[in-house]
Structure 1
Amino acid sequence: MENNTNIGDPTPEPRVAVVVFLLKGRSVLLGRRRSAVGNATYALPGGHLEFGESFEECAAREVKEETGLEIGKSEFLTVTNNVMLEQPKKCHYVTIFMRSVMGVDVEEEQVPQNLEPNKCDGWEWYEWDHLPHPLFGPLERMVKGGFNPFS
């Protein structure tokens, strides 16, 4: 018989998230989170990878669900391992970072909408050299480490 001393407080399982650097010119789309994890920080659009879904499918679905934007082809950039013990809700995410560029040949420019106001305060384009603060932890670590989604 297994002795579980953490009854009622199970260790959270790692989850897989797919987030998207959605680029337009030298700007990136960010939203201010409303969440137990990273509340009031600025983050990329994205969410949980669903069973059987490719990274590209997840990226397109999450961007559409959160912002209403239709994205074209997206490409894999990198993956990070994020154990967030300092959050009110401790969690562990393996985060897949994708990149997609908003087309310049589109007749009507798409404008991001806030389709999940319970999870986000709204979406804005921010120049890469003038990002808002505070950034969501995994994104902040990448930026401070010199990561550039434009290169």
Structure 2
Amino acid sequence: MATVRVGIGCFVIKRVNGAVFFLLGKRQGSHGSGYWGLPGGHLDMGEDWSTCAARETFEECGIETDNIVFREATNDVFNPDLHYITLFHSSEIAKEFAHKPVRLMEPDKCQQWVWVSWQEFMENRAPLRDACIEHCFDAASQSEEISLDLLFLPLQNLKKKLQFCAESPVWLG
């Protein structure tokens, strides 16, 4: 018998020169392979939601976060046998990690991490800001553009819920 699972997605926020960006990762090796998604994963039995968001972000990106807050939920039916409730959170990068690149901790599950703005997210296009290299916000490192057309189903559903937000939601800064 199929059951509904609980997934966690975390908007990891970074502020650069007054602009707000968040992490997106290109998934691989599991459902949603080839699609862009947030750091996140499955809620463990008895685990607090924000603890899960922090744990999954560290496991996938090698960074610690602060100020984790629940923001939104989506009902995500991938197919008749795969159904999730996804709990979205926002967080800030912990001060000691603010100037360090993100690490690709699970290369079998994530191809790359990039920084995008809300406007870029809504427009499905962004300059390539490889979060795993230093100085990814320098203009010279952003000559390539990436397509964000393929979003993991929970992010697609969240985007539909928030489509009226041309400007970033207040909780994204």
- What range describes the TM-score normalised by the shorter chain of this pair? 0.7 to 0.9
Contact 2:63–2:97, Cα closer than 8 Å, also in 1 = no
User: Which of 32, 48, 51 pairs up with 2:42?
Assistant: 48
Give the Cα–Cα distance (whole angstroms) in 2 for the partners of residues 96 and 37 of structure 1.
18
Between 1:31-40 and 1:14-23, the stretch displaced more is 31-40
Moved over 4 A (4+): 105-108
Is the partner of 2:66 in helix, strand or coil? coil
Write the deviation string for residues 18-65 of structure 1: whole angstroms up to 9, x where unpaired.
110111122110000114421101000000111121011101100000
User: Normalized per residue, which structure has more helix?
Assistant: 2
Unpaired runs of 5+ in structure 1? 1-10
Shift of 1:106: 4.5
TM-score, structure 1 normalization: 0.81
Match of 1:91 in 2: 82
User: Normalized per residue, which structure has more strand?
Assistant: 2
Is the partner of 1:95 in helix, strand or coil? strand
TM-score, structure 2 normalization: 0.71
Does residue 67 (structure 1) correspond to residue 57 (structure 2)? The answer is no
Shift of 1:133: 2.3
- Say what the alpha-carbon RMSD is for the aligned residues: 2.0
Contact 1:113–1:122, Cα closer than 8 Å, also in 2 = no
Shift of 1:144: 3.2
Q: Percent identity?
A: 34
Shift of 1:13: 1.4
Does residue 129 (structure 1) correspond to residue 151 (structure 2)? The answer is no
Match of 1:4 in 2: none
Structure 1 residues 109 and 48 mapped into 2: Cα distance closer, same or farther (>3 Å)?
same
Structure exhibiting the larger radius of gyration computed from Cα positions: 1
For residues 9-20 of structure 1, the aligned pairs below 5 Å read 11-20=1-10
User: Which of 50, 58, 65 pairs up with 2:52?
Assistant: 58
Is the partner of 1:69 in helix, strand or coil? coil
Higher RCO (Cα < 8 Å, 6 or more apart): 1
Is the partner of 2:157 in helix, strand or coil? helix
Match of 1:141 in 2: 157
Unpaired runs of 5+ in structure 2? 122-147
Does residue 102 (structure 1) correspond to residue 93 (structure 2)? The answer is yes
Shift of 1:108: 5.7
Give the Cα–Cα distance (whole angstroms) in 2 for the partners of residues 29 and 121 of structure 1.
13
Contact 1:79–1:95, Cα closer than 8 Å, also in 2 = yes
